[in-house]
Structure 1
Amino acid sequence: MKALVWHGKEDVRIDTVADPKLVDPTDVIVKITATAICGSDLHLYDGFMPGMQSGDILGHEPMGVVVEVGREVTKLKKGDRVVVPFVIACGDCFFCRKKLFAACDRSNPNAKLAEKAMGHSPCGALGYSHLLGGFAGGQAEYLRVPYADVGPLVIESTLTDEQVLFLSDILPTGYMAAENAQIEPGDTVAVWGAGPVGQFSIQCAWMLGAGRVIAIDRVPERLTLAERVGRAEVIDFSKEHVYERLQEMTDGRGPDRCIDAVGCEAHSFGSIDAILDNAKKMMKLGTDRAHVLREVLYCCRKGGTVSIPGVYVGFLDKIPFGAAMNKGLTLKMGQTHAQKYMRPLLEKIEAGQIHPTPIITHRLKLDEGPDAYRTFRDKKEGCIKVVLIP
């Protein structure tokens, strides 16, 4: 089969690789009909995420049709049309029983490796490094899905692939980000990053009762989409000082809830902390560029909540933890417990309460994936979200 394969930093190729096979009796094989490039994939592309090996198949936002079924699978059958979550979860461990699927204790075969880096291992994940299991990803023609009775969501309606594809990751991630923000009716919610996760965080913030939503970015197409579809007020951080503008917009109090939908590759214009981050990265003395997280902690009002769906991978420094403590901030973060949210969000799509497709700007063939990675990373051609069709 053909697949998008990682060969090193900024080196993604379309390769011919072996078709996946059933390994465990709880596996299924899915023929991919649509897959997407996620902002988190760029952390792999740019070499931020440890544990990648040349030959790894990328991708964690897939859907398709079940073509093979393991003998112990009871909830899926050949021909089922499914969306596959990026989180691999057993469904029966301590954490899965609490619906904390991204903390599954059994799905990461490289748990000992992850424990050395993090203290405890998160779940396994599709196409996201050997630190999280070394599982082949879904930017391919076929995909092996472990624990298939727990993950894939069967789509029985006539909704298009594009309408449901993002249930695999970024729509549940945006919803959990808004939920973690602990929004109360009428709250002012500020969202850093108007990429795909930020766009869904904006839509979900309204659903959870926000009275006002402010989007912060520098890419014109993203800001326009946040205004047009997300009904958000916007701040272009390349033209305005974010803290000062938010103070003006909130009468000096700061936003009630702040969402960092950027993560470890934050950009900034001229700030000292960002300059130091870039210098340390160039000298291989640091990894994450954490400017947005620092700014969020400064900007959030006293007693407010900071939600962090943006991915961080290493050891951060210069974090104003004193500000967070003395202002009494609540911080909530983590990988998304996707299985918890997929069906309720499918129902919201069916009811017209949330509209996933406007974020799609590029619809391409799988063979065009290597160029699409560069276009998406460099924010060229107005690129917000890429969907690939094998």
Structure 2
Amino acid sequence: MCWEGINDVRVQDVPDPRILNRGDLILKVRLSTACGSDLHLLTGHIPFMQAGDVIGHEFMGEVVEVGPDVTRHKPGDRVVVASFIGCGQCWYCRNDLWSLCDNTNTNPGITQALWGADPGGIFGYSHAMGGYKGSHAEYVRVPFADYNAIPIPDAVDDLSAVFASDSAPTGWMGADLGGVRAGDVVAVWGSGAVGQMAARSAQLLGAERVVVVDRFDYRLRQAEQVFGLETLNYEHVDIGAALREMTGGRGPDVCIEAVGCEAHSYGPQHAYDQVKSKLKLETDRPIAVREAIHNCRKGGTVFVLGVFSGFVDKFPLGAVMNKGLTLRGAQQHGQRYIPMLLDRIASGELTTAHLATHVLPLEEGARGYRLFKEKEDDCVRAVFQP
């Protein structure tokens, strides 16, 4: 499935991947899922795409070929692959900060200019992030395979395993690095796959109450039914007032933003951000981040899980400083969390397969992304089967 232009993805033939380095493996993809961050590619929000780029970064499959230096995998193994690629040897990988790998972004100059440093490479996510071929394909090359491909326990089915590639570790990281502790009240902005995974992770880490904020009732219903989460629809209630009421006036201990750079809202702030982004006076719409900062309790933590690409306007830095907040963010360190999460899926502690509301053949990729992007037919995630 190739990006051919703004809102234009097509399934077409491309050259088969092959072993390029001694530590590579070739994976036959069994399942690959659309991700909310892919929508930023479709809308042209990430400007470093080229026509013909294969997209997709959340996937699992079967090993069919390994390079001579691969020691942990063999043909026939069933594995899930971390979306961010780590070399396993640099300071960041050795300190479990895998998405910050020093060696896997093959185009570091772009992100060094944007952000002052280059994170690691990622499958199928623009030439700013390495230009790697993505996972919406029959086969994909996995570099540094001993570190980036993780064996799937027999008790975990394919559909559950695919979300251990990105959604589940991203969500767990938000709750973990956000410092969720027993007895906390946690609020999560966004009830898509990552938001639900962050909320369930907060429950498993001991949070007393977890509430998710969204505007789509079908996603909120899913969060309620599957995980027993409390929910708030921001189109129907005043989020700030509701959060204060449920926390004795303080606000949540931890606020997790799982929406990203194209956040939706209502009223003047939404119109303001829409105009600013259309005029290229800001690159990202930080509406959910602002709400998380304003509603977090004094001395609490805000963790940004949603993808942001550049610059935002009207950022409430005064609130961060004067409320004594801890503000953190990261791309997911999958290799740090995936083995543990697969074990939790196997034991039944963590449910993920319900996120796959639409399982489609790869040939219907364009339709799958339309369903996902337009929120048609109560689509939470479109999963593609080559």
TM-score (normalised: structure 1): 0.97
Partner of 1:352: 348
Tell me by how many angstroms 1:168 deviates: 0.7
Ranges in structure 2 where 5+ consecutive residues have no aligned partner: none
1:31 to 28, 38, 42: 28
Partner of 1:86: 83
Say if 2:205 is the partner of 1:211.
no
CA separation in 1, counterparts of 2:292 and 2:186?
11
Q: Which moved more, 1:248-257 or 1:313-322?
A: 248-257
- Equivalent residues in 2 for 1:173-184, closer than 5 Å: 173-184=170-181
Partner of 2:374: 378
Partner of 2:316: 320
Partner of 2:361: 365
Corresponding residue SS for 1:381: helix
CA separation in 1, counterparts of 2:70 and 2:110?
29
Corresponding residue SS for 1:332: strand
Partner of 2:165: 168
CA RMSD between the two structures? 1.0
Partner of 1:331: 327
CA separation in 1, counterparts of 2:165 and 2:362?
18
Tell me by how many angstroms 1:348 deviates: 0.8
CA separation in 2, counterparts of 1:260 and 1:158?
32
Corresponding residue SS for 2:173: helix
What is the CA deviation profile of residues 144-189 of structure 1, one whole-angstrom value per residue up to 9, with x for unaligned ones?
Answer: 1111111001124142101211111000001001112211211110
Q: Which amino acid aligns with 1:138?
A: S
Matched residue count: 386
Q: Which amino acid aligns with 1:375?
A: L
Q: Which amino acid aligns with 1:309?
A: L
Partner of 1:300: 296
Query: Quick check: 1:114–1:122 contact (8 Å CA) kept in 2?
Result: yes
Q: Which amino acid aligns with 2:92?
A: F
Query: Quick check: 1:40–1:311 contact (8 Å CA) kept in 2?
Result: yes
Query: Quick check: 2:70–2:145 contact (8 Å CA) kept in 1?
Result: yes
Tell me by how many angstroms 1:283 deviates: 2.2
- Equivalent residues in 2 for 1:42-81, closer than 5 Å: 42-81=39-78
Partner of 2:107: 110
CA separation in 2, counterparts of 1:129 and 1:239?
37
1:119 to 116, 133, 138: 116
1:310 to 299, 306, 310: 306
Tell me by how many angstroms 1:345 deviates: 0.8
What is the CA deviation profile of residues 232-274 of structure 1, one whole-angstrom value per residue up to 9, with x for unaligned ones?
Answer: 111111111211221222221111110001011111111x222
Q: Which amino acid aligns with 2:266?
A: F
Query: Quick check: 2:62–2:75 contact (8 Å CA) kept in 1?
Result: yes
What is the CA deviation profile of residues 302-349 of structure 1, one whole-angstrom value per residue up to 9, with x for unaligned ones?
Answer: 000111111111101101110111000001210011001011111111
Ranges in structure 1 where 5+ consecutive residues have no aligned partner: none
Partner of 1:186: 183
CA separation in 1, counterparts of 2:352 and 2:309?
27
Query: Quick check: 1:167–1:342 contact (8 Å CA) kept in 2?
Result: yes
Partner of 2:151: 154
Say if 2:6 is the partner of 1:9.
yes
Partner of 1:20: 17
Query: Quick check: 2:153–2:343 contact (8 Å CA) kept in 1?
Result: no
What is the CA deviation profile of residues 110-144 of structure 1, one whole-angstrom value per residue up to 9, with x for unaligned ones?
Answer: 11222111111000100011001000000000001
What is the CA deviation profile of residues 5-44 of structure 1, one whole-angstrom value per residue up to 9, with x for unaligned ones?
Answer: 0011111111111111111111111011111001111111
Partner of 2:126: 129
Tell me by how many angstroms 1:285 deviates: 2.7
Percent same amino acid among aligned pairs?
Answer: 47
Partner of 1:280: 276
CA separation in 2, counterparts of 1:232 and 1:166?
19
CA separation in 2, counterparts of 1:63 and 1:358?
17
Partner of 1:387: 383
Corresponding residue SS for 1:26: coil
Q: Which amino acid aligns with 1:283?
A: L
Q: Which moved more, 1:281-290 or 1:236-245?
A: 281-290
Corresponding residue SS for 1:15: coil
Query: Quick check: 1:216–1:236 contact (8 Å CA) kept in 2?
Result: yes
Query: Quick check: 1:273–1:318 contact (8 Å CA) kept in 2?
Result: no
CA separation in 1, counterparts of 2:79 and 2:152?
6
Q: Which amino acid aligns with 2:318?
A: G
Q: Which amino acid aligns with 1:236?
A: N
